[in-house]
A and B are shown apart, each in its own frame.
Chain A
Amino acid sequence: MGWTTALYLAATHFLYKGMMWLSVAGASLRTGTRTMYLMGGLIKRMPLSFVSFLVGIIALSGVPPLTGFGGKWLLYHSLIAKGWYFEAAASFLASGIAFLYLYRMIHSIFLGQPKDEHRTVKEAPFWLIVPQLLLLGAVIVFSVFPRLILDPIMALVGARYPAAGFAFEGQTLVSSLGYWNGLLTIIVVVVVFVLCLVWMVANLRKPRLVKQFNIVFAAERPFRPETTHFAFDFFAPYRRALGFLVRGRSERAWTAVAGLATSVAGAIRRLYSGNGQTYALHVVLYVGILYLFLGVR
């Protein structure tokens, strides 16, 4: 069961993380900065990037009906069946916190207050958008038909571990603890969503589209977008509550990782000495090692 979960999670994680990275890359390219609080309100100028990022968030936090939930379902069933209860609780906390930090990203970059200098940014380049849309389509297809991705995985795993815990009955995925019908879930969710949307549109009376500073600012007017966009110290309550666990430690840890990466890269760099004879030696050594590995025939 664990293998099925791991493979499924790896496959779907690739899909939506790839989408999100591409989307953020597009935003960063167009605005010319990597600092999140300098961006803001890009949803109106880059709607496609926003949509792919949004679907990425929904999938990553494991919200039904998208593919992330399938992964979480498999994970919990595997953990509980194996008896690892505290890991299951920890992973529940992890998926909640995942949504929390992704919300900070999407708010700082795409929602909130647009800045003056980003008023004319264009949508991300065509060749960044196309892969995002492809991955988006893949995520949606796999959400509607989870069997498309689960059948191959389960066949692969079943070949090595015949006593697999999951089985399919029609479209419903069944394990010893419960069941999940991916197709019916997404149908119900889509129907409910469309009905609510129809109700809202039918009741909408003379909506006026207003600009960014037409907000209730306690009877004042906001003065600059930079001071009105909430992006700094986003999780102050968490920092106050649990910050003592990571303060200093996480910074030292990441500095150590960065230092290690720099020194390893520096060591590897010395292979490129610029000397033609060293390169010739590299080629000879490579052929020699290959010869040794392949054996004498």
Chain B
Amino acid sequence: MSDMKFTRALADPDHALKPAGRPGPLGKPLVLANDGLPEEEKAWFCDAYPTASGPYKGILENFLNWARSKSLWILGFGTGCGAIELRPLMTSRFDMYRFGIQPRPTPRQSSVFVIGGYASVKTLKRIVRSYEQMMGPKFVVALGSCTINGGMYWDSYNTINAIEHYIPVDVYIAGCMPRPEALLAGFKELQRKIRRGECEGAVKYAENFEWYKANQKKVIHDWNMPDYNY
């Protein structure tokens, strides 16, 4: 089932990623075409093909996963309705700080991206850019039913129905909107998954990069960024 999902969109030639140059030793191209950018702007952006390193083995990775689960820094980017349910978590009543969760202002320093509800096409472009700027290993928590199947905006012209076709998601928290207690339960589930070693979204993104990029380019038409935003 999951393999079928990853091969479906590649049949669409209009939005397939156009690699530039000869393939490297792993069969993947070494540089990206960045054809969304005019020629004079290409020198400003890095065009290397994204790679993601896999986990270490054994006790070292267990230890690092334990540390990652105890120190989840979320990106302070309120993408949708879920943002308003995140704010009570910072206050004294629900207090996410005791789980090691802190909001950080830049994607460079955060490891968890919280998709707070519906993603309009305009927001999706920024979500993709911020996600690609985060450092691996990175995790995505999707709040609300709009991220699962479109929710109440399932037939809208401007929102997308399934966020996992565009970036890999680790934990879904259902609801419209889920209460702060439900969010805390979701974060605890994320911590358990990280400790089990199941949250390798960055690796999944790099390995299926063409599929994700083709999906993104199908809906985002004003693509004036490079193909991978470092």
Contact = CB atoms under 8 A, between A and B. Distances in A.
Interface string A100-123: 000000000000000010010000
Interface in A64-109: none
A225 B44 CA distance: 9
B133 A211 contact: no
Contacts of A210: 46, 230
Interface stretch (A7-15, A146-154, A213-221): A213-221
Contact of A211 (B40, B45, B108): B45
Interface string A208-237: 111111101001110001000000000000
A213 B48 contact: no
Given A116-B40, A208-B230, A214 B126 contact: no
Interface in B150-197: none
B106 interface: yes
Grouping DSSP codes into helix (H, G, I), strand (E, B) and loop, the A interface class, with mixed when no group exceeds half, is loop
Nearest to B224: A221
Contact of B130 (A208, A213, A219): A219
Contact of A219 (B45, B129, B224): B129
Given A219-B77, A221-B224, A211 B44 contact: yes
A216 B105 CA distance: 10
A221 B129 CA distance: 9
Contacts of B53: 205-206
Nearest to B53: A206
Nearest to B106: A216
Interface in B16-72: 40, 43-46, 48, 51, 53
Interface in B104-151: 106-108, 126-127, 129-130, 133
Most buried by B among A205, A209, A216, A220: A216
Given A206-B53, A213-B44, A213-B45, A220 B133 contact: no
A212 B226 CA distance: 13
B225 A221 contact: yes
Given A219-B130, A220-B126, A214 B46 contact: yes
Contacts of A212: 44
Interface of A: 116, 119, 205-206, 208-214, 216, 219-221, 225
19 contacts: A116-B40, A205-B53, A206-B51, A208-B48, A208-B230, A210-B230, A212-B44, A213-B44, A213-B45, A214-B46, A214-B230, A216-B106, A216-B108, A216-B133, A219-B77, A219-B126, A220-B126, A220-B129, A221-B224
Closest 5 CB pairs of A and B: A219-B126, A213-B44, A214-B230, A210-B46, A210-B230
Given A116-B43, A214-B230, A221-B129, 10 more contacts: A116-B40, A211-B43, A216-B108, A219-B77, A219-B127, A220-B126, A221-B224, A221-B225, A221-B229, A225-B44
